Structure 1
Amino acid sequence: MTAELFPDDATRIVPARRLTGRVSRVLAAMGEDFATTQVDDLPFTFDGIPGDVHAGTTRRSGGREPWYPRGTEMRNERQLSVLAADELEEVARLMEIDRLLPEWIGANLVLEGLPRLSMIPPRTRLVFENGAVLRVDGQNAPCRSAGKGIAAHFPEREGLDLLFPKVAKRLRGLVAWVEKPGVVTPGETVIANMPEQWIYEE
């Protein structure tokens, strides 16, 4: 019975692995808007980035959580937005604009050297050289609000707010929460400790 229920080749397991990258920029949203500005360093507490618009142990549910009534208090797994420089360049190319700055779409961290950052799986630990650790929740789905942040810089172009969600899928980076507090600075090394991966099928 066990052999039938759990054949050896039923699930392909991708072993855990480690990748090394570098912190390029650190940013924070210290106002009421999600747009960020560059800072010298980024302190992490268990609530996220102190003073940042997305800080907090909990948050209110919105359109991304249709299984809850809007405004339900829930765990904040979206404390930080993590983006990749090469993916930003690719989204800009697809949108046919000459640049896409991470602060326009609320980035807190811009990383380099981690290929296909947006495809890094949930539960990955991002371990920073100075000791801080983030836990990846998953991909950050592109939305029209971020698209409006881009469109504001190209008033001569119509429809960029709607184009962004279409072309930036799986290129929008990751959302993460603080597992171990610390301070992150530009130039430091980050190691992505990825867990085993598999596709669940019945």
Structure 2
Amino acid sequence: MSDLLPEAESAIEITPARKLVARVAALYVAPFDHFQTRAVDELRLGFDGIEGDFHAGATRRSGGREPWYPRGTEMRNERQLSLVAADEIAVVADRMGIAEIKPEWIGANLLIEGVPRLSMLPAGSILFFQCGVTIKVDAQNGPCRIAGRSIAENAGMADHEAGALLFPKAAKRLRGLVAWVEKPGTIRAGEEISVRVPEQWIYRA
């Protein structure tokens, strides 16, 4: 049986690990009672995420993204941080027929520049910030109606419900990423990031 392993490995296409250089273009924090964010000069991160932020916490309650749990089940919080890229949300705005989408409207915490196709960074990618902070990517951030309604309201769209429904379609695979804090500290706007993308492969049984 062990003789089959080299043959199986050779049939899998493996993309080598790589490093990218990025930069913190802007930082945002959400009040404890609302997901929309506001711009700040720095983010103080602990193992629970951003101090006082709407999404802070070592755990969170499950929702529609976790249909395998009863809604409201306490689970590990892998969504402490929301990362977006200006070029991607500009495409979403164009698809929605509006002039712009501000990161604050969709609850972003970090606006990242310098990473092509940010939303496609794979799970397990690690961002090493100049200040010493490390965060780890969990997954793409699936676009939802709540963020869509926020965009519709802030952009002055005539039909808020239509905007809420349009956003999930327009922002598919362009909504950015969710991540969690691996090594805490304070991130400041403008600092450099070293992005380590892990080795990748497509699992086939």
What TM-score do the two structures reach when normalised by structure 2? 0.95
Aligned to 1:164: 167
Task: Please give the alpha-carbon distance, in whole angstroms, between the structure 1 residues aligned to 2:201 and 2:139.
Answer: 15
2:183 counterpart of 1:190: no
Aligned residue runs from structure 1 range 1-202, under 5 A: 1-7=1-7, 8-158=9-159, 159-202=162-205
Task: Please give the alpha-carbon distance, in whole angstroms, between the structure 2 residues aligned to 1:38 and 1:89.
Answer: 18
Task: Please give the alpha-carbon distance, in whole angstroms, between the structure 2 residues aligned to 1:173 and 1:3.
Answer: 42
Task: Please give the alpha-carbon distance, in whole angstroms, between the structure 2 residues aligned to 1:154 and 1:2.
Answer: 60
Task: Please give the alpha-carbon distance, in whole angstroms, between the structure 1 residues aligned to 2:158 and 2:31.
Answer: 29
Aligned residue pairs total 202
What TM-score do the two structures reach when normalised by structure 1? 0.97
- Aligned residue type for 1:115: P
Higher normalized helix content (fraction of residues): 2
User: What is the RMSD computed on CA atoms of the aligned residues?
Assistant: 1.1
What is the CA-CA distance between 1:156 and the residue it aligns to?
Answer: 4.0
What is the CA-CA distance between 1:9 and the residue it aligns to?
Answer: 2.2
User: Once the two structures are aligned, what percentage of the paired residues are identical?
Assistant: 57
Task: Please give the alpha-carbon distance, in whole angstroms, between the structure 2 residues aligned to 1:31 and 1:99.
Answer: 26
